[in-house]
């Protein structure tokens, strides 16, 4: 870590070299892993949408019932 009073000069070539080195360290997923994960996300979104639809329908029915009592 550089001290507060000193500035390290930026070297664009060194930056590109370091970025490439870090990119090689990354563990990239395979197409199969990406596909399976994407399908799982879509399934979970559909389940969550269904759950909230049912909850919304239930609460809506309860509110309508309560309001009908007062009319």
What residue has token string 């019932």? 65
Look at residue 52 in the predicted model and tell me its pLDDT.
Answer: 98
List the structure tokens of 61.
Answer: 């029915």
Backbone angles phi, psi at 20, to 5 degrees: -65, -40
Kindly give the confidence (pLDDT) of every residue in the chain, 71 residues in length, as a single tens digit, with 9 standing for 90 and above: 556 656 677 788 988 999 999 988 988 899 999 999 999 999 999 999 999 999 999 999 999 999 999 87
pTM exceeding 0.75: no
């Amino acid at each position: 870590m550089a001290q507060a009073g000193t500035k390290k000069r930026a070297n664009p070539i060194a930056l590109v070299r370091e970025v490439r080195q870090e990119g090689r360290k990354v563990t990239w997923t395979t197409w199969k892993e990406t596909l399976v994960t994407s399908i799982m996300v879509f399934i979970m979104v559909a389940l969550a949408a269904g759950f909230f639809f049912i909850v919304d329908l239930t609460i809506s029915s309860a509110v309508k019932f309560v309001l009908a009592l007062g009319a």
